[in-house]
Structure 1
């Protein structure tokens, strides 16, 4: 029986052989065997409950922190759209956020509600689902500092709320169950003046603009900062600033960013990252760990 005969019916949008390059920041990579954009949580839950348990499932947010390999992604890629992008105030210091809401929307809603402490989300180029899974952070703050709990749909289709203590957060890592999709999260900050919150968001935006190649085809921060080191400084010291393989380049503006200058394949981008790791190891003895997710199969 073919895969198309075994795929469950949905109320949302289900696309076979869907190109993923337009959906990720690098603008490179292959297709998803299936791309599912659920209409609501029930649609997602019912779909996963009926889907053959052997079919792999992964979530896709804004595609910022990701290399999609050129051979594409087997199984189902779940993309949460507008139905999952709502952000609402629960009380004076707490927001309920859909898994598809952007960091900019969350921080702006917090500002309007006079909730401080969430300003750093302004600088995370992704959605709630992604930065909850990765314990995203910037400017001295991490998701674990503001998260109360998150709602997930497990690979089995079961809906579950997980408290902060159940997520096993470490630096850029969580212990979320494999194949689950984060459909919502509750964040808590503190009461603050909206003008002060806006000033901090402006400071963060200005600093990012000055130091990062924001208008390029990039994947954001490529490698985790090793204990006691800054990844960009190790990369710079190893002579990798501006290093190129084909149209893949180490940013000259910020060494921990890789760029697609135009027609780089995902293989070239990943190869460049591995060459950076090799040179840093040879120069400093430090092994850089990928922060960017690399998904799918090589061509």
Structure 2
């Protein structure tokens, strides 16, 4: 791809942009282009004028993502500060930019006395990713609080979608390929800030005790099958601590993979596939990836 075919932008456009520093696993190749739009109009105009054959992917905090070692052949859109604002609309609703973190959303909700969003404190990601993946934890999911999401389609067209338009299932939506979530409105319920903070503290302590938060990891690797826990199936298959190259199954929580130092994305993906193979052999369960794997192998 060359600069001559790219539309003019008001934001920042970086060629051959390394993605490893932007994802939690700290592995993977570069994007042909990294686009950080100035605002939603900048993003819409860029996508409208961009060659429709060029792949587009939105990137939040990069927490639930393996970027393959050959990188991403297209444009990666990263929403910066302009998309990281959270606004209180009324007694129970917040409008959240697509680049706002779960910590910011839940803290703003707490300060406004809005309960029901505490679980977002525990999900390492941004609103755009939550909406796309129906992010959830501790018994709640985004579909429970979402009123509507503002998106920019790959064509540059802007739309507002209701939860019914997103076809939500467990950790999945039908958000169109290449679409970018620029904001979402969430609705909770009236609550006491002190009680909300206590629930957030409980969630944080539970995560700290059970998950390898200080490691180069990517969050939950596999979806929980119906009525089962992925970590338990992985453990029963003898995969706790399993190593492949620089990648390891966490000793602390077996549904987490870890980059122990210099793991390639190929190491991480191959380890995940080996875990899937062993679980299938042991229990007959076909584990499904929760972590998104994108780009091309080297």
TM range (shorter): over 0.9
Q: Is the partner of 1:221 in helix, strand or coil?
A: coil
Give the whole-Å Cα distance in 2 for the aligned partners of 1:231 and 1:108: 30
- Residue 242 in structure 1 maps to residue 241 in structure 2: yes
| Other-structure match for 2:212 | 213
By how many angstroms is 1:164 displaced? 1.1
| Other-structure match for 1:261 | 260
Mark the runs of 5 or more structure 1 residues left unpaired by the alignment.
none
| Other-structure match for 1:196 | 195
By how many angstroms is 1:80 displaced? 0.2
Give the whole-Å Cα distance in 2 for the aligned partners of 1:178 and 1:294: 14
Residue deviations 1:221-245 (CA, integer Å, cap 9, x gap): 0000001110000000000000001
Give the whole-Å Cα distance in 2 for the aligned partners of 1:176 and 1:63: 18
Give the whole-Å Cα distance in 2 for the aligned partners of 1:239 and 1:255: 10
Q: Is the partner of 2:128 in helix, strand or coil?
A: helix
By how many angstroms is 1:51 displaced? 0.2
Alpha-carbon RMSD: 0.5
TM-score, normalization: structure 2? 0.99
| Other-structure match for 2:82 | 83
Residue deviations 1:128-187 (CA, integer Å, cap 9, x gap): 000100000000000000000000001111111001111100000001111100000000
By how many angstroms is 1:3 displaced? 2.5
| Other-structure match for 1:65 | 64
By how many angstroms is 1:189 displaced? 0.2
Residue deviations 1:51-103 (CA, integer Å, cap 9, x gap): 00111101000000000000000110000000000000000000000000000
Q: Is the partner of 2:218 in helix, strand or coil?
A: strand
Structure 1 stretches of 4+ moved >6 Å: none
TM-score, normalization: structure 1? 0.99
Question: Matches of residues 38-77 of structure 1 in structure 2 within 5 Å?
Answer: 38-77=37-76
Give the whole-Å Cα distance in 2 for the aligned partners of 1:247 and 1:156: 40
Give the whole-Å Cα distance in 2 for the aligned partners of 1:167 and 1:77: 22
Give the whole-Å Cα distance in 1 for the aligned partners of 2:88 and 2:46: 30
Q: Is the partner of 1:179 in helix, strand or coil?
A: coil
- Residue 165 in structure 1 maps to residue 169 in structure 2: no
By how many angstroms is 1:246 displaced? 1.2
Mark the runs of 5 or more structure 2 residues left unpaired by the alignment.
none
| Other-structure match for 1:280 | 279
| Other-structure match for 1:292 | 291
| Other-structure match for 1:130 | 129
Q: Work out the number of aligned pairs and report it.
A: 298
Q: Is the partner of 2:89 in helix, strand or coil?
A: strand
Give the whole-Å Cα distance in 2 for the aligned partners of 1:94 and 1:23: 30
